[in-house]
Amino acid sequence: METKMKKILLSTTAICLFSAGVAHADMQVISAGNGPVITVGGTADFQVGSGSQESLYKNQSSSGVADGSKTSIYSRELHTRTDTNIHLKVDGRADNGLGYGAYIELNADTNANDTTANNNSARRTYIYVESGFGRIETGATGDAGNALKVGAETLAHGTGGIAGDFYKYVDLANGGIANNAKYAILPGLPTAAGMPGEANVGYTAGFSGGAGTLKKDTHDDRANANKISYYTPRIDGLQAGVSFTPDQAEHGTANGFTSANGGASELGGGFPAFIDVWNGGVNYETRYNDIAISTAITGEYGDAKDSGTTSATIDGLEAYSFGLNLSYAGFTIGGSYADAPEFGLSKSYNSSMHYWTLGGAYEFGPLGTSITYLSSTVKHGSSASAPDASFQNVSFGADYKLAPGLLPYLEVSFFETDSGSSSSSTTVDNKGTIFIGGTQLNF
């Protein structure tokens, strides 16, 4: 019955989305004065990064073995990367006020760091319809919670501070070395930020991590899975949104359709995809005596795929976050706290994750600077093969708007992991410094 209802939902949504516009077209012809406008734009970002870390991780093999072979990508400290996207925006407004359009974001780098595990050339594609009563987005794009969230990560400059690109230059998956330790290295609910241990997993690695030969953002597939989202207008400072993702493994058409049982390692890198995921949030903005206040509560909930066996052994998805930012005279301070009682590990592990962030930023004309801090802990029950693991990162970032669309930036991050290993724990923990410099061009 539920399956049949879900089929009705999705097919009905697709029909209604277009019939909404058609119905009004019958009543009023869309005049040439309000027809669609197609805009082309994009971003080109060139970055140089250098990451220092413990020699155990620097000298590991490409399969994540601490053998000193230096065949992993971490044997060199200096790397360059580009992130280039082209986007097409279609925007129209009917005479009756109905707004409609689409957004198509194409990856120009289709064989490097920022692609999905399947080298998708389209990163985000969605259609939207909006009116005074809200906005609906359907397609492959981020979720409502990620758009509405507030915290230190939302005020950072540079590449994004604690939510930036630091993790691409050092080994923070390192499960193979540190007894399958899983770190939550990015702020955000697991769908957007990745499961502990997921972000930046090597392409050839399994669930236990590994250095691999290519760096893939497998959580990007999950974050931009096909979904339906609804946002309310902002009324008296309050705005809410909700997203429904039927299957986190279905992203555009490149991934194709997936089965009822993706198993515990459906996404590239060996992480589960959840189904029937609800994600949402409430955001409130106001101003009091020249102090701008922004706060948000977000959450998400989803089920593990059901094979008759995996659903009995794999946790679903459950996470919540709260954030608050205050701004005055160019200064902004803020922070957030999140808790994830379930994130797709074995039920027997009884795992949970929580993190908190704190940060500050200052903007003066074209210059922006920030300092942000993240502390996260992943806890497991006694039956887990992985120990409790904690991660800390403090990031200093700065950017300067040199010209319209031209933004050079610098960032330095200091990180430290604690794998929780009891014996020889100091040899499996990692810490280091990451320097990043680059320039972003928007057009």
Partner 1 sequence: MTNFAIVTIFTDMIKKYIPLISIVLLMAVAGCSAFSSAEKKAEYPQQPDDIRRNRAGSLLGSNNFKIFSSDKKESEPSEGTKSKEVIAVNAYLWRASLDTLSFMPLASADPLGGVIITDWYENPEVKGERFKVNVLISDKNLRSNAVTVSAFKQISTSGSWRDATVNEKVARDLENKILTRARELRLEKESK
Nearest to 73 by CA among 63, 88, 82, 87: 63
Q: Report 114-153 residues binding partner 1 (CB under 8 A).
A: 129-136, 141-142, 144, 146-148, 153
Q: Which residues does 95 contact at the CB level (< 8 Å), separation at least 6? A: 28, 29, 30, 31, 34
Q: Report 356-375 residues binding partner 1 (CB under 8 A).
A: 368
Pick one of 49, 51, 57, 98: the residue that binds partner 1 (CB under 8 A). Answer: 98
Q: Measured from the CB atom, is 242 or 389 closer to partner 1?
A: 242
The conformational region for residue 208 under phi > 0 = left, psi -120 to 50 = alpha, else beta, is alpha
- Number of residues near partner 1 (by CB under 8 A): 75
Q: Measured from the CB atom, is 133 or 288 closer to partner 1?
A: 133
| 361 close to 332: Cβ distance less than 8 angstroms | yes
Sign of CA dihedral 48, 109, 124, 342: negative
Nearest to 118 by CA among 9, 222, 11, 244: 222
| 121 close to 110: Cβ distance less than 8 angstroms | yes
Q: What distance in Å separates the CA atoms of residue 396 and residue 411, rounded to the nearest whole number? A: 6
Pick one of 35, 68, 237, 330: the residue that binds partner 1 (CB under 8 A). Answer: 35
Question: Going by DSSP bridges, is the β-strand pair 238-247/274-288 parallel, antiparallel, or unpaired?
Answer: antiparallel
Phi, psi torsion values for 9, nearest 5 degrees: -55, -55
Q: Measured from the CB atom, is 278 or 414 closer to partner 1?
A: 278
Binding flag, residue 237, partner 1 (CB under 8 A) = no
Q: Measured from the CB atom, is 24 or 431 closer to partner 1?
A: 24
Pick one of 17, 86, 108, 293: the residue that binds partner 1 (CB under 8 A). Answer: 17
Q: What distance in Å separates the CA atoms of residue 311 and residue 423, rounded to the nearest whole number? A: 34
Matching residue, tokens 């027997």? 348
Provide, rounded to whole angstroms, the least separation between the CB of residue 200 and partner 1.
Answer: 16
Q: Measured from the CB atom, is 34 or 375 closer to partner 1?
A: 34
Q: Measured from the CB atom, is 203 or 301 closer to partner 1?
A: 301
Tokens representing 137?
A: 């987005």
Binding flag, residue 293, partner 1 (CB under 8 A) = no
DSSP string computed for 33-59? GG--EEEEEEEEEEEEEEEE--HHHHT
Binding flag, residue 82, partner 1 (CB under 8 A) = no
Binding flag, residue 329, partner 1 (CB under 8 A) = no
Pick one of 8, 29, 214, 238: the residue that binds partner 1 (CB under 8 A). Answer: 8
Provide, rounded to whole angstroms, the least separation between the CB of residue 247 and partner 1.
Answer: 15
Binding flag, residue 407, partner 1 (CB under 8 A) = yes
Provide, rounded to whole angstroms, the least separation between the CB of residue 180 and partner 1.
Answer: 26
Q: Measured from the CB atom, is 352 or 417 closer to partner 1?
A: 352
Q: Report 194-233 residues binding partner 1 (CB under 8 A).
A: 228, 230-231, 233
Binding flag, residue 77, partner 1 (CB under 8 A) = no
| 264 close to 230: Cβ distance less than 8 angstroms | no
Q: Measured from the CB atom, is 113 or 440 closer to partner 1?
A: 440
Binding flag, residue 308, partner 1 (CB under 8 A) = no
